[in-house]
Structures are given as structure tokens and as C-alpha cells.
Amino acid sequence: ERLALIAAQELAARSQLAPQDPEPFIAALTLVNLWTVQYIAMCRYVNDDHSIAEVRIKVTNDVRRAAALIESGIATWHKNYC
């Protein structure tokens, strides 16, 4: 949570909004929680019978899928405010 607050402060400063405003706060939470997506994917694939290279590729793909889902919303906000 502390990392999300720091990220929200930085995003708010770039967009001239308050860190408590919804846009920088949700953007920060979303970006920081990509780490959670990565962790879940690592746990998911490392327990299967995959090589380290395969795990890396699968984890990267999962994180990219999650990022792609949120990218358009953050990109729209960034374009409008930053």
C-alpha cells in the first residue's frame, strides 16, 4: 500500500492533481498490482513441469495481458491530464 501511495503522489504531481484524486490513485494501485499478477503467475507456472525459460515466457505473457487490459484506460487518463 505504501508503494501505491508513493506512486499516486508521483502520478498526481505529473498531472497536477492531488494524490487522493481518483485518477492518480487508481492508476497507481493498478500499476503496483501488476507485481501481484506477476507473483500469481510465477506460483502458477513454477509448480507445473516447465523449464525456467518457459516459466519466464508464460509469466511475462500473463503480465502483458494484464497490462494490455489496463493500458487503454491509463493511456486515456494520461493523455487528458498529463
Contact of 36 with 14, CB cutoff 8 Å: no
pLDDT, mean of residues 30-52? 93
Residue 23 CA to its chain's centroid (Å): 14
Tens of pLDDT, residue by residue over 51-81, are 999 999 999 999 999 998 888 777 776 677 6
Instruction: State the pTM of this model.
Output: 0.73
Encoded amino acid at 26, one letter: I
User: Is 58 in contact with 45 (CB distance < 8 Å)?
Assistant: yes
**Across all residues in the chain, what is the average pLDDT?**
89
Greatest alpha-carbon span in the chain: 48
Q: Under a CB-based contact definition with an 8 Å cutoff, are residues 62 and 49 in contact? A: no
Q: Which pLDDT value is given to residue 39?
A: 97
Grid cell for residue 58? 508464460
Query: Quick check: 34 pLDDT over 90?
Result: yes
